[in-house]
Structure 1
Amino acid sequence: MCVSRNVRFLSAFVPTFTNSECRKLLQRGVFAVNKIKNLTSVEVLETIKEILLKGYYYCETLRLGIEPRVHPASLKVGHGGTLDSTATGVLGHISRQMLEAALSRYHGEILQTPPLYSALKLRGRRIADLTRAGISVDLNPRPVTCHAIQCTVFSPPSFTLEVHCGGGFYVRSLVHDLGIALGSCAHVRELHRFQQGPFMEQDMLDSNEWTMQNILIAIKKAKESHGEFLKRPRKKHKCEASLSR
């Protein structure tokens, strides 16, 4: 990685933040992005991480006057919950009344079995990776919360749901279970998240806004607007599972 390449990349970067402010914001910062369709959550994270590394590298070069040694592992980037590229369902000969009656079963505190293709881990390995490797995994149901659920569009064989749920809730599992409850089958076709915690759609950074400057501004804004929320310890969702013999 050469300095000139990074300078070109950040030629439009206006150093509104000092180096110390940059480091402080990046140590524990949260912001919202608009996930691009057909990209996995991990791919989005890698894109964001590369942008931040290049920006930090550039700032440190200006501060030190020499090329710093910045290792990718020194910057950790995570997300508030994996998003699929898929959330509408497909059913057989089902009426809207039947669908809405079935939806009432999934409101409130329920037990839900996570999908086999998920980011949950068992013995240090992702369940999805184990499944792709042909290893059979038995997942146990776990308690999740659905605050509200309604059908907004019913156009057989497809329908659209609006779901307000708590952490650890899988829409794919909901749609799968819903199909079974109706004596049919259903799968997710498209999924869009409108809110994550206090972050709304208007808080998201679109892909054309993913720059070091915009990310730092978004982190600072989040700290000012949602400081108390961000101080809360994040709840970890346990995976109770076993390998099938």
Structure 2
Amino acid sequence: MGSKGSTRLHGLFAVYKPPGLNWKHLRNTVELQLLKGLNSQMQYTPQEHIRFLLGPMEGSEGKELTLTATSVPVLSEHPLVRGPNYRSVKVGVGHRLDVKSSGVQVLGVGRGNKLLTDIYNAHLTKDYTVRGLLGKATDDFSDEGRLIEKTTYDHVTPEKLSRILAVIQGSHQKALVMYSNLDLKTQEAYEMAVKGLIRPMDKSPMLITGIRCLQFAPPEFLLEIRCMHETQQLLRRVVHEIGLELKSAAVCTQVRRIRDGVFTLEDALLRTQWDMHSIEKSIQKVAPRIEAELKKCQTVALCHRDPVGQPSS
């Protein structure tokens, strides 16, 4: 991507991905809109040069020829001849949403592609709202899969669901401490845990740091899940396992990401806003938050490299 007219197109921004849209198609659409915006800024100024053209001499009735200085346009610089100034722009995709899912999708453009790597290595949490439907089970844990069985759900109560969610969160909290390699008996590690700064610094299984029920109207229920290292299919599996723990069955009808690190639904650009001007404004708006979050993550990473309570070498 050229530098002129695009100096502000370096950074991270978020768009809202609707369900049914592949992330590759979303990225290609954004790239196309950015190219249109960049090329529309380049105004073509017609240039002319002097050429000596052979023509009839005045008063010679066309019998004698002479060279006449004539100004003619330079067609080699015409957009129809040269083509667009910008032919490609590199747009990277952050934590991807699968086709069935919707919500906040982070993208990077220009030097923002390096920031995508920094965000990935920061192991930030993400928030989802997940809808479940009691009473049936499918082969892929979604309501669109092949039906395996139907069950009753009259015995399921909000209290039973809350107890199961508490057990899930407790088991994942223990796993989070284990993968963070911190000794919670120390004061510094305890303070990090209180502030919610404990996180694994390497790859780990999906970790749920918070889960609660927002709505319970059998057979439907709505969960809010805060997690990291997840996939949308793993979240659907969680709904399936909750159904089994309730001595019933459940399928997932919706997975919607409402936060990805520092990006929230308010930051996500709608389809009508996928243009260069809106993207530039979004990049400028979230840049300070990204910088502050990455600085905080660097501090946390140092604490993990030198385990608290152990002498550093």
Does TM-score exceed 0.5, indicating one fold?
Answer: yes
Instruction: Give the corresponding residue for 1:213.
Output: 277
CA contact (8 A) 2:205 2:229 kept: no
Structure 2 matches for 1:26-105, cutoff 5 A? 26=9, 28-59=10-41, 66=79, 67-68=83-84, 70-72=86-88, 74-83=89-98, 84-85=100-101, 87-92=130-135, 93=153, 94-105=156-167
Q: Where in structure 2 are there 5+ consecutive unaligned residues?
A: 46-76, 103-129, 136-152, 176-203, 299-313
Deviation at 1:90, TM superposition (A): 1.8
Q: What per-residue deviation string (whole Å, max 9, x for no partner) do you get for residues 114-153 of structure 1?
A: xxxxxxxxxxxxxxxxxxxxxxxxxxxx522212111111
Instruction: Give the corresponding residue for 1:123.
Output: none
Deviation at 1:54, TM superposition (A): 1.9
Letter in 2 for 1:174: V
Instruction: Give the corresponding residue for 2:254.
Output: 190
Please give the alpha-carbon distance, in whole angstroms, between the structure 1 residues aligned to 2:133 and 2:30.
34
Please give the alpha-carbon distance, in whole angstroms, between the structure 2 residues aligned to 1:110 and 1:171.
19
Letter in 2 for 1:102: I
Deviation at 1:183, TM superposition (A): 3.1
Please give the alpha-carbon distance, in whole angstroms, between the structure 2 residues aligned to 1:62 and 1:75.
25
Which stretch has the larger CA shift, 210-219 or 187-196?
Answer: 187-196
Q: What per-residue deviation string (whole Å, max 9, x for no partner) do you get for residues 18-37 of structure 1?
A: x73754443x4211212224
Letter in 1 for 2:15: V
Q: Secondary structure at the match of 2:212?
A: strand
1:65–1:55 CA distance, 2 compared to 1 (3 A) = farther
Letter in 1 for 2:3: S
Instruction: Give the corresponding residue for 1:9.
Output: none
Please give the alpha-carbon distance, in whole angstroms, between the structure 1 residues aligned to 2:254 and 2:222.
9
Which structure has the larger Rg over C-alpha atoms?
Answer: 2
1:89–1:55 CA distance, 2 compared to 1 (3 A) = same
CA contact (8 A) 2:132 2:220 kept: yes
Deviation at 1:44, TM superposition (A): 2.2
CA contact (8 A) 1:110 1:146 kept: no
Instruction: Give the corresponding residue for 2:120.
Output: none
Deviation at 1:155, TM superposition (A): 1.1
Please give the alpha-carbon distance, in whole angstroms, between the structure 2 residues aligned to 1:175 and 1:70.
46
Deviation at 1:85, TM superposition (A): 3.3
Q: What per-residue deviation string (whole Å, max 9, x for no partner) do you get for residues 29-52 of structure 1?
A: 211212224323333222212111
2:288 to 224, 233, 237: 224
Deviation at 1:80, TM superposition (A): 2.8
Q: CA RMSD in A?
A: 3.3
1:196–1:21 CA distance, 2 compared to 1 (3 A) = farther
Give me the TM-score of the superposition, normalised by structure 1. 0.62
Letter in 1 for 2:32: E
More strand by share: 2
Instruction: Give the corresponding residue for 2:265.
Output: 201
Please give the alpha-carbon distance, in whole angstroms, between the structure 1 residues aligned to 2:91 and 2:15.
16
Deviation at 1:160, TM superposition (A): 0.5
Q: Where in structure 1 are there 5+ consecutive unaligned residues?
A: 1-18, 112-141, 234-245
Please give the alpha-carbon distance, in whole angstroms, between the structure 1 residues aligned to 2:235 and 2:159.
21
1:173–1:97 CA distance, 2 compared to 1 (3 A) = same
Instruction: Give the corresponding residue for 2:65.
Output: none
Q: Secondary structure at the match of 1:147?
A: strand
Please give the alpha-carbon distance, in whole angstroms, between the structure 2 residues aligned to 1:158 and 1:181.
16
Q: Secondary structure at the match of 1:194?
A: strand
Report the identity percentage. Answer: 27
